[in-house]
Amino acid sequence: MFDSVCPMRHRIRGYENDRAEFRRLELALDVIECPTLILHGSLDTEAPVAHAHFAHAKIANSQLVVFDGADHSMLASEYKDIVRRMTEFVLTNN
């Protein structure tokens, strides 16, 4: 993972392109009909938790789980709980 992320100079143009595209991105969240699990860390500074709450409000059949104290790297810090919640979600929504 580190070889693809660091050093930043190898991916800065792609990163800047992503930032520009995300500003223009419009998602029609209200048309999503499938069960949707939204996982987010309460301390994520890369993607504010308000984004997760917004998506949850727009997606009719969604479930929001906010990991208190978790940040953008919550996949590493909360992986056991994430796997458990994903498994439960898939088993109850198939």
| Nearest one of 71, 62, 85, 63 to 42, comparing CA atoms | 71
pLDDT of 38-88, one tens digit each? 999 999 999 999 999 999 999 999 999 999 999 999 999 999 999 999 999
* Amino acid at residue number 87: T
- pTM, 2 dp: 0.77
DSSP secondary structure, 63-92, as one string: EEEEETT--TTHHHHSHHHHHHHHHHHHHH
pLDDT tier at 89, thresholds 50, 70, 90: very high
Max CA-CA distance within the chain?
44
| Nearest one of 44, 62, 63, 40 to 52, comparing CA atoms | 40
In the predicted structure, residue 25 carries a pLDDT above the cut 90: no
Q: What is the pLDDT of residue 1?
A: 55
Q: What is the pLDDT of residue 5?
A: 61
